[in-house]
């Protein structure tokens, strides 16, 4: 299973995906992806016109590790 981390959505979205996956399919190979790139009209929306920051990456990785989903893809 792959999950693309979106800037500003670690707590509201990534956490929920990690928790659901851990509860329902804990044996799945889980990959966090940080390749989000703002493209095209993203410049019109400041909330998505940025890259995932180091702090957000570290937080998402920590969440996945604590949930037992340890395969992390950078």
- Give pLDDT, residue 72: 47
- Give pLDDT, residue 54: 96
CB atoms within 10 A of CB 56: 20
Per residue in 22-43, pLDDT tens?
A: 999 998 889 999 999 999 999 9
Residue 4: pLDDT band (50, 70, 90) is very high
Segments making up each domain of the chain, as ranges: 9-66
Q: What is the mean pLDDT of the chain?
A: 91
Buried b (16+ CB within 10 A) or exposed e, 22-41: beeeeeeebebebebeeeee
Residue that the structure tokens 């095209």 belong to:
40
Give the predicted TM-score (pTM) of the model.
Answer: 0.84
């Amino acid at each position: 299973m792959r999950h693309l981390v979106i800037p500003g959505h670690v707590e509201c979205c990534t956490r929920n995906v990690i928790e659901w996956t851990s509860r329902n399919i804990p044996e799945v190979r889980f990959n966090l992806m940080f390749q989000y790139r703002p493209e095209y009209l993203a410049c019109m929306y400041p909330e998505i016109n940025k890259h995932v920051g180091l702090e957000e990456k570290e937080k998402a990785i920590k969440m996945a590790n604590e949930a037992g989903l340890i395969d992390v893809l950078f």
